[in-house]
Amino acid sequence: MAEQRIAQKTRNTAETRISLNLNIDGSGKSDIDTGIPFFDHMLTLFARHGLFDLELKAEGDLSVDYHHTVEDVGLVLGQVVKAALGEKRGIARYGFFILPMDETLARVALDLSNRPAFVYKVSVPEAMVRDFNIMLVREFFQAFANEAGCNLHIALEYGEEPHHVAEAIFKCFAKALDRATQIDPRMGDALPTTKGTLSN
């Protein structure tokens, strides 16, 4: 049986304190507490639909704003995904998915190339879900792409209800990342690149 791809990180700053454990080869279990209920919901969906096991505890300066916590969780998640994948031997590397959520349709494509790039084409007439501004979703994924070394493209094909938009994006990202991290048995122990490394 292949060794499970697991990583953890603790990051403490003046703005946030984050502890995160991730098992790429999990079953979708999660234990998440960021102090932001809607964000917890999105991360729970991410774990469940990507079949990742995720434990996350975050404490941030929520009295100021949700921005630091959301962005820093994305940063730490990106670092942990990169660490868990190691040299990326045998992985599919590319992942993409199109996901419906009621009236909403989201599209995500990504490349675990170690060349960070981020394109986010999402526009909604209303951005608030209670006290959570879904514009922060962009900050989360930008931080993830930077730290994971991920080429990440997210687009909203159509949709208006902000909860549905955010949920479709997180689920779609989970499915795309699950596909990109899958081991392709045809690859054996090879790297999915012609340049000899995906680590630098």
93-118 per-position pLDDT tens digit: 999 999 999 999 999 999 999 999 99
User: C-alpha angle with apex 16: 14 to 22, nearest 5 degrees?
Assistant: 140
d(CA 143, CA 151): 12
Please give the span between the terminal C-alpha atoms of the chain, in angstroms, as a whole number.
Answer: 28
Can you list the alpha helix ranges (DSSP code H) found in the chain? 37-50, 67-85, 136-148, 162-181
Q: Reply yes or no on whether the pLDDT at 144 is more than 80.
A: yes
The rounded mean pLDDT for the chain is 94
Q: What is the pLDDT of residue 158?
A: 97
Q: How does residue 154 score in pLDDT terms, banded at 50, 70 and 90? A: very high
d(CA 28, CA 42): 13
DSSP state of 3: P
- Could you give the percent of the chain with pLDDT greater than 90? 88
Q: Reply yes or no on whether the pLDDT at 1 is more than 80.
A: no
The pair of structure tokens assigned to 135 is 């514009």
CB 156 within 8 A of CB 106: yes
> What's the pTM value of the predicted model, to 2 decimals?
0.94
